[in-house]
Structure 1
Amino acid sequence: MSDVRTVVVEREMAHAPEKIWRALTQPHLIQEWLMQSDFAPDLGHKFQFKAEWGAVDCKVLEVEPKKRLAYSWEAYGLESVVTWTLEPTANGTLLRMEQEGFKPDQNQAFHGARHGWQNFFNQLENVLAQPEQEEAQ
């Protein structure tokens, strides 16, 4: 299993963990920076991310509100796990995303994820920079 690779993106954001957590767990906000989904932060919940190119099948594996979130991420032969970690800092939150499970023959998926997650993080920062949205939508 040592040949399995992981994509890691880590960025300090000038927002409280609570605000970032909402953007990671509320479907109407997730849609603005990642993809359309029927996500719910409930252990064992099965959901999909949907985009023009297809869908990603997922299952919630870990939920520690405002601190840690993990879910499986399966699409086109890729079986991986995405783990989000939120750590408060003096200026906001250190947000870390790890996607683990890229096999040696999945170079295209690995490099696509490395590039894609950077873009998703940029879009997430844009969503977080917007004025607070109503939580109940």
Structure 2
Amino acid sequence: MNEAVTETLSVVVEREIAYPPEKIWRALTQPHLIEEWLMKNDFAPVVGHRFDLRADWGGVSCEVLQIEPGKTLSYTWSAAGLDSIVTWTLTPSDTGTQLRMEQTGFRPDQQQAYYGAKAGWPRFLENLEQILARID
């Protein structure tokens, strides 16, 4: 008997970042900053807004699901048969912000996408930290 429910995998990257949540939030939600650490985009911080992320290798179709300014940002991430959800959580800490990125929804047969995300997100977050160091 085949179960209809399939276990999905998640990629989680957590970083302690020495900047306040408001500053990180700007880098997560302002299109010109998103472009610098992630991809070209037409993002708007509005629930229900559909946007695309564009790179040399192709693109990602997204839709904003949840926004709690300075705290939570969640959007769909659909590319090459992958339907997933990316959720950013910002928690103030003694030294700045605990930033958590979770991408959920990888099916067991999507190993390539899963391992790509596992390798890619830490690099994106390194880029993000470099942008934060540059902006006021």
Would the aligned equivalents of 2:9 and 2:104 in 1 still touch at CA under 8 Å? yes
State the aligned residue count.
132
CA gap of 1:2–1:92, structure 2 versus 1, over 3 A, is farther
% identity of equivalent residues: 59
Match of 2:15 among 11, 27, 40: 11
Indicate whether 1:98 and 2:102 are aligned.
yes
Query: Deviation of residue 3 (structure 1)?
Result: 1.7
**TM-score, normalising length: structure 1:** 0.95
Letter of the structure 2 residue corresponding to residue 121 of structure 1: L
Q: Which residue of 2 aligns with 1:72?
A: 76
Q: Distance in 1 between matches of 2:131 and 2:124?
A: 10
Q: Distance in 1 between matches of 2:20 and 2:44?
A: 21
Indicate whether 1:57 and 2:61 are aligned.
yes
Letter of the structure 2 residue corresponding to residue 100 of structure 1: T
**TM-score, normalising length: structure 2:** 0.95
Q: Which residue of 1 aligns with 2:111?
A: 107
- CA-based RMSD: 0.7
SS of match in other structure, 1:9: strand
Q: Distance in 2 between matches of 1:2 and 1:128?
A: 38
SS of match in other structure, 1:15: coil
Q: Distance in 2 between matches of 1:87 and 1:30?
A: 20
SS of match in other structure, 2:108: coil
* Structure 2: gaps spanning 5 or more residues: none
Residues 40-79 of structure 1: per-residue CA shift (max 9 Å, x gap) = 0000000000000111000000000000000000000000
Q: Distance in 1 between matches of 2:29 and 2:7?
A: 31
Match of 2:52 among 48, 54, 76: 48
Indicate whether 1:36 and 2:69 are aligned.
no
Q: Distance in 2 between matches of 1:84 and 1:105?
A: 25
Runs of 4+ in 1 over 2 A off after TM superposition: none
Would the aligned equivalents of 2:6 and 2:107 in 1 still touch at CA under 8 Å? no
Q: Distance in 2 between matches of 1:36 and 1:19?
A: 20
Match of 2:93 among 89, 96, 99: 89
CA gap of 1:73–1:131, structure 2 versus 1, over 3 A, is closer
